[in-house]
Amino acid sequence: MRAVALTIQKSNDLIKVAESLYNELRLLDFTNIRNAQVVINLGDNQNYLVCIYTEGTAEIFKESRYETSPIIQNLYDELDTSHNALYQKEIKDKEFEDWLTWRKNTTSTFDKKLLEARSVCFYLYSIGEGHLGISTYNSITKQQLEILKRFRNVFELAYRRFMDVAKAEEQAENLKLEKETLEKTLIELKATQSQLIHSEKMASLGELTAGIAHEIQNPLNFVNNFSEISMELLEEMLEELNSGNIEEVKFITKDVIQNLEKTLYHGKRADGIVKGMLQHSRKNTDEKKYADINALADEYLRLAYHGLRAKDKSFNATLETDFDESIGKVYLIPQDMGRVILNLLNNAFYAVNDKKQQNLKYYQPTVSISTKKNKEKIEIKISDNGNGIPQNILDKIFQPFFTTKPTGEGTGLGLSLSYDIVKAQSGELKVQTKKEKGTTFIIELPLHQKKDQNQKSDTPK
Question: Does 454 map to a domain?
Answer: no
Confidence (pLDDT) at 438? 96
Confidence (pLDDT) at 430? 96
User: Above pLDDT 90, what percent of the chain?
Assistant: 29
Question: Does 154 map to a domain?
Answer: no
Question: Does 453 map to a domain?
Answer: no
| Tens digits of residue pLDDT in 14-65 | 889 999 999 999 999 999 999 999 998 887 778 888 999 998 888 988 888 7
pTM of the model: 0.42
Confidence (pLDDT) at 205? 38
End position of a domain, from candidates 238, 254, 280: 280
Task: Please indicate, yes or no, whether residues 243 and 307 belong to a single structural domain of this protein.
Answer: no
Gap between the Cα atoms of 265 and 178, Å rounded: 10
End position of a domain, from candidates 280, 302, 330: 280
Q: Are the beta carbons of 95 and 50 closer than 8 angstroms? A: no
For the chain, how are helix, strand and coil distributed in percent, rounded to 5? 55, 20, 25
- Which DSSP helix (H) or strand (E) runs through 331? strand 329-332
Question: Does 148 map to a domain?
Answer: no
Gap between the Cα atoms of 195 and 282, Å rounded: 9
Task: Please indicate, yes or no, whether residues 262 and 198 belong to a single structural domain of this protein.
Answer: yes
| Tens digits of residue pLDDT in 89-120 | 999 999 999 989 988 888 767 788 888 899 99
Task: Please indicate, yes or no, whether residues 10 and 131 belong to a single structural domain of this protein.
Answer: yes
| Tens digits of residue pLDDT in 272-301 | 666 655 544 454 556 788 889 998 899 888
Q: How much is the mean pLDDT over the chain?
A: 83
Dihedral sign computed on CA atoms, order 421, 277, 260, 255: negative
What phi and psi values does residue 409 have, to the nearest 5 degrees? -100, -10
Nearest residue to 346 (alpha-carbon basis) of 442, 414, 422: 414
pLDDT category at 445 given cuts 50, 70, 90 is very high
Structural domain of residue 352, as residue ranges? 289-446
The count of structural domains within the chain is 3
Gap between the Cα atoms of 142 and 64, Å rounded: 33
Question: Does 27 map to a domain?
Answer: yes
Confidence (pLDDT) at 206? 40
Residues 6+ apart with CB under 8 A from 183: none
Task: Please indicate, yes or no, whether residues 253 and 399 belong to a single structural domain of this protein.
Answer: no
| Tens digits of residue pLDDT in 172-205 | 888 888 888 888 888 887 776 555 444 433 433 3
Confidence (pLDDT) at 95? 92
Task: Please indicate, yes or no, whether residues 296 and 262 belong to a single structural domain of this protein.
Answer: no
Task: Please indicate, yes or no, whether residues 298 and 186 belong to a single structural domain of this protein.
Answer: no
